[in-house]
């Protein structure tokens, strides 16, 4: 059984990269640095980087995952990864004050 998605993250909502976050692509995925919180996060796959980059243009986080080629079986893991990024303020809901 898959672990539940943390509270506060709705994969059916529109999300974006937080405006204070810088993305540095790497072979393994990417490094995210939040200038406001001074936190560093690692994206451990190029596909997750594609999802994060696509959030601003996708209607929902799930749509960003599908557009990046995430298959239905992998979707719960990507939702958990995005929820973790939301919890650390690396991504935020669109329309939310930054």
37-47 residue pLDDT tens: 999 999 999 99
- Going by pLDDT thresholds of 50, 70 and 90, the confidence category of residue 1 is very low
pLDDT at 6: 56
For residues 21-32, give the mean pLDDT.
Answer: 95
User: Which pLDDT tens digit goes with each residue over 49-86?
Assistant: 999 999 999 999 999 999 999 999 999 999 999 999 99
Percent of the chain residues topping a pLDDT of 90: 88
Contacts of 45 (CB under 8 A, 6+ apart): 28, 29
Find where tokens 């298959």 sit. 71
Assess contact for 40 and 94: CB atoms under 8 A. Answer: no
The pTM for the full model equals 0.89
């Amino acid at each position: 059984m898959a672990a539940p998605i943390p509270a506060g993250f709705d994969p059916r909502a529109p999300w974006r990269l937080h405006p204070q976050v810088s993305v540095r692509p790497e072979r393994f995925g990417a490094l995210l640095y939040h200038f406001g919180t001074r936190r560093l996060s690692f994206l451990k796959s190029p596909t997750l980087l594609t999802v994060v980059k696509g959030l601003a243009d996708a209607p929902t986080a799930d749509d960003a995952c599908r557009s990046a080629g995430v298959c239905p079986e992998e979707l719960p893991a990507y939702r958990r990864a995005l929820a973790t990024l939301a919890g650390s303020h690396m991504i935020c809901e669109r329309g939310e004050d930054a």
